[in-house]
Chain A
Amino acid sequence: MIFQNAIWTITLVGMGLVTLGFVYAISQTGKPTDSAQAERSYRASNVLRRWLFLALLLVGFGVSYASLRHFPIPAQHAPLQASQVVDVVGHQWTWDISETRFKVGVPIEFRVTSDDVNHGFAIYAPDGRIVIQTQAMPGFTNKLLYTFRTPGTYKIMCLEYCGVAHHGMTAELNVVADGGKS
């Protein structure tokens, strides 16, 4: 499953649960209770809140551990295990990329910086979805590690607003299969 599609599904489930909570409470508003029942409802809601707290705490810890155990950003001050190093410099409004032809399955280290303003270096797969990104900042070099999995033409887009031609600041990368065919 494409990662973004999984995120979309999880989001819809989360927002749907919130909606259900509101729909339930709203559907009950027309059934006023006496004070004894209200007291019982109040106690029950406090118990439910404790369980919700525990459930959210568990989910929070679980997701944090799973998503940070292998830190998703490569070490910036140590050598990366890449077969190829590519220098990327953003300018208003072009990309200067030292190599634009790559092979599938080869880890690439992109060293991304800018010589003027902030830019965003995002790699779009041939299917039009972002596979990875980092910021291109003046005075800093962000090291991005990526291994292309499918051949084709990948598009670079600037994802940090950088002035009037920001939307036109694009480039292309060609990724070929191990045998050399695109």
Chain B
Amino acid sequence: MSALTLYPDNERLSRNERIVFNLYMISAVLLFLLMMLLGLTMRMTQATWTGVSVTLFYQMMTMHGAGMVGTMSLASTAVMWFFLRKYVTLHLWAFLANYILFLLGALCIIYSVFVGGFASAWTFLYPLPVHSMGLWSTNAAALFMVGYLLIGVGMLLYYLDAAAAIIRRFGNLGRGLGLQWLFRGEIDPNHPKAVVASTMVIIANSLGILAGAVVLVMCLINAYDPAVTLNALVVKNLIYWFGHMLINATIYMGVIAVYELLPRYTGKPYGISRPFLWSWAVSTLFVIIVFPHHLLMDYAEPRWMLVMGQLVSYGAGFPVFLVTAYGVLTNIHRSGVRWKMPSMLAVLALFGWAAGIVPAIIDGTISVNKVMHNTQWVPGHFHFYLLLGVLPMILTLLYHVVGSRARAPANSRTDRLGLFLYVVGGICFCMVFLYAGHMSVARRFAVHLPEWVPYDQAGSIAAMVLILGMLLFAIRIIVGLLKAPTDVDPAHPAG
């Protein structure tokens, strides 16, 4: 069965594809490491172990947030592209254009933050970008927003190409999502899960990015013409609509690697089913309308939106627990799975996602949010499912590709040591955040109360262990990606 072939021929990359894929992934791995080092410096500053000034702390915080969200998007887009191109015809120029626009946008953001002094957090809540109390200029704020716009344009370009490709192959996006089989009909067992997930991301994230573009343009106009004032609540809604979908899309793109690769290591087909299609259809809707759970403490928000925020947060757990995590567990159950780096990372990824969503759902309850909002509970849960969920999804593909270049699954002692350090450090790091959150430690504070410092010190040590693991991953992956494929036919340079 071709689906269970470890390194199928239709997954090979042409020379140009390999160059662009390597550009994406090597940039992403290096950026992940750099952003983690920024995060560690912030935790060590809170732990009183560094002499970083408060001004620099908040610049680093802005860079860490924007950088991590951007890099997660970049790398998970490459995961989606890697698998989707097997089923539909994607244009390499669109994929490359997204990378170039990302780099240009990233340069704008880096310049704005570290030269212009911009420090409004990655969420740039209006009117803080234009109300810096003299710490940064309007031009610095505008450059940051232009950077976001460039990245957004690149992503939209890539999504438009992918949407056109899916429509060409399946007729429309609904059929790509498998909506025709929700109530009746025999499901095509060969309908690719990668197409279902990609279609969902294209629909939801395009809407989110458009909302982001609208709010960025509104803020840019306000920056240069303050007479055009904005409604702070409307701006906040648009920013969280954009931000929530952007970061959630990384999970839905990343999980494609698990769907595609895990069955090859378990030897058990991972069939498509009606519950699976229902879960993706429902998730498409939920991810679009769940954003008010970020505004539960904005009492001026219409009540129906707050109620929707809570109920949809609860509902969003069903597809994760009952379909994807459960599907993975039944796939590995009594499978005799080959425990190699990609399969271990894939299972870790689903664990990180499923376990990390628990504190997130609980915080989506309005009465809980009244005591947990903007405490370290929030970075606790999102670091859990990003560090132990999305990043392992991306690493699953990277280790698989590294294995494919050597024609043997990656599984060295160093790889396993890296995984051990990453998991232990990651779990401790996130649990310290959650524990501190329940003790009411505020998030986004450069200086902590003396009684909070022990949590910061524990978190810093855990972060060091985690980063050591990531460093081992990074070296292995970069060397592996740069290695030429071993069995290339010189007439058809692919691999």
Contact = CB atoms under 8 A, between A and B. Distances in A.
| A and B: interacting chains | yes
Interface of A: 3-5, 7-8, 10-11, 14-15, 18-19, 21-22, 25-26, 28-33, 37-38, 41-42, 45, 49, 52-53, 56, 60, 63-64, 67-68, 71-74, 76, 92, 116-118, 120, 122, 124, 128-135, 137-144, 157, 159-168
Interface string B267-295: 01000000100000000000000000000
A52 B334 contact: no
Interface string B81-121: 00000000000000000000000000000000000000101
A7 B438 contact: yes
Nearest to A93: B133
A42 B335 CA distance: 12
Dominant secondary structure at the A interface: mixed
Contacts of A144: 299
14 contacts: A4-B438, A8-B438, A25-B333, A31-B334, A45-B333, A52-B322, A73-B306, A74-B299, A116-B127, A130-B440, A139-B233, A159-B375, A167-B54, A167-B442
A67 B370 contact: no
Dominant secondary structure at the B interface: helix
A47 B464 CA distance: 44
Given A122-B374, A130-B440, 8 more contacts: A14-B359, A29-B266, A29-B332, A37-B334, A130-B375, A133-B371, A160-B125, A167-B54
Given A41-B333, A92-B133, A163 B128 contact: yes
Contacts, number: 217
Nearest to A42: B330
Interface in B46-85: 54-55, 58, 61
Interface of B: 54-55, 58, 61, 119, 121, 125, 127-128, 131-133, 135, 231-233, 236, 266, 268, 275, 297-300, 303, 306-307, 310-311, 314-315, 317-318, 321-322, 325-326, 329-330, 332-337, 339, 347, 350-351, 354-355, 358-359, 362, 365-368, 370-375, 434-435, 438-440, 442-449, 451
Contacts of B351: 18-19, 22
A85 to B, nearest CB: 15
A74 B297 CA distance: 12
A31 B332 CA distance: 10
A161 B236 CA distance: 13
A29 B335 contact: yes
Given A73-B299, A160-B374, A166-B445, A140 B332 contact: no
B138 to A, nearest CB: 15
Contact of B54 (A56, A60, A63, A164): A164
A63 B128 contact: no
Contacts of A118: 125, 128, 232, 236
A67 B355 contact: no
A64 B119 contact: no
Contact of A116 (B54, B131, B375): B131
A64 B313 CA distance: 11
Given A52-B321, A124-B440, A7 B362 contact: yes
Contact of B366 (A67, A92, A131): A67
Given A133-B370, A167-B445, A92 B131 contact: yes
The 8 closest A-B CB pairs, nearest first, are A32-B336, A142-B299, A14-B358, A159-B374, A167-B445, A25-B329, A8-B438, A140-B300
A11 B442 contact: no
B438 to A, nearest CB: 4
Contacts of B321: 18, 52, 56
B354 A76 contact: no
B438 A5 contact: yes
A21 B310 contact: no
